[in-house]
A and B are shown apart, each in its own frame.
Chain A
């Protein structure tokens, strides 16, 4: 994997084979998982904070703060909606995390959706964003 760093560029979806093939999670999904883990620890010990690493603690704080969707059903729906469009896992997650409001913003956040010959047209992106915003309203 050592030669990859020079070419790494998330804007072009160059993130290395291992990460491209792995399942990517949005902040809200990670929050649900880490929360569950934390609860499990709470049941097993009086002092769960002592059992978790700093990385766990900081990450849990971060994903909780930056989760746009808190309700597990909403989170599932977001993933479902975004999965309908031909997006790479990474692109799906950045969109789910940053929740752009306009097509312009979406392209600025995830430039790769406009490239690689998949050329999601603006209408498709618009539809996707409006579907997402519906979930926010009903959360």
Chain B
């Protein structure tokens, strides 16, 4: 999981009232929680440090004041070629759906699971010749074949693969 601390300078809106710095921080945290995820930086986990609150600029039409706030935060972005661990959420005939932290859409197609066969049943699984089993709730180590940013859903979709050494279900 590529979790980084990065510095961002968003615009922050309109803190009225006397406790200026406090309202700015509250507004920053609100806005941060709403931002959730962007294409460039990935999923926003948490603000870590406040660097600087810049000079406020008044917006003439509304009377709002805009403050640029420079802060550090934690983000997570999945990358092609990265090896990650995820939890199996659902299994169907040709595909396994995994959840990797904030990334809810990790797709593992049967085509990228060499030697694994679908085993049907009330709780379907995938198994290979060495009785290695992929089942709901289990953990799988995979490599990211590709990622896709879906603007309309505001989320990343990840294509996974087990084609490689040391990949597959782990305890």
- Find chain B residues with CB under 8 A from A59 CB: 43, 45, 76, 101-102
Evaluate contact between B74 and A33: CB separation under 8 angstroms.
Answer: yes
Evaluate contact between B40 and A33: CB separation under 8 angstroms.
Answer: no
CB within 8 Å for A100 and B166 given contacts A19-B77, A59-B76, A94-B83: yes
Q: Is B48 an interface residue when CB atoms closer than 8 A count as contact?
A: yes
In the assembled complex, the CB of B64 is this many whole angstroms from the nearest CB of chain A, namely: 24
Binds B, one of A61-69, A72-80, A116-124, A127-135: A61-69
Q: Is A9 an interface residue when CB atoms closer than 8 A count as contact?
A: yes
Evaluate contact between A62 and B46: CB separation under 8 angstroms.
Answer: no
Q: Is A56 an interface residue when CB atoms closer than 8 A count as contact?
A: yes
Q: Is B94 an interface residue when CB atoms closer than 8 A count as contact?
A: no
Size category of the binding interface on chain B: 35 or more
Q: Is B1 an interface residue when CB atoms closer than 8 A count as contact?
A: yes
Which of B4, B44, B79, B83 is close to A22, meaning CB atoms less than 8 Å apart?
Answer: B4
Q: Is A18 an interface residue when CB atoms closer than 8 A count as contact?
A: yes
CB within 8 Å for A98 and B141 given contacts A55-B36, A56-B46, A108-B164: yes
How many positions in chain A have a CB within 8 Å of any CB in the partner chain? Answer: 45
Q: Is A139 an interface residue when CB atoms closer than 8 A count as contact?
A: no
Evaluate contact between B45 and A30: CB separation under 8 angstroms.
Answer: yes
Which of B5, B41, B79, B141 is close to A25, meaning CB atoms less than 8 Å apart?
Answer: B5
CB within 8 Å for A23 and B4 given contacts A55-B44, A55-B45: yes
The chain B residue with its CB closest to the CB of A29 is B3
Evaluate contact between B2 and A23: CB separation under 8 angstroms.
Answer: no
Evaluate contact between B33 and A15: CB separation under 8 angstroms.
Answer: no
Docked complex Cα distance between A119 and B79 (Å): 23
Docked complex Cα distance between A94 and B144 (Å): 13
- Find chain A residues with CB under 8 A from B164 CB: 108
Which of B36, B81, B87, B101 is close to A63, meaning CB atoms less than 8 Å apart?
Answer: B101
B residues contacting A by CB (< 8 A) are 1-6, 33, 36-37, 40-41, 43-46, 48, 74, 76-77, 79-83, 85, 87, 99-102, 104, 141, 144, 147, 164-166
The 3 A-B residue pairs with the shortest CB-CB distance, nearest first, are A62-B101, A11-B81, A22-B4
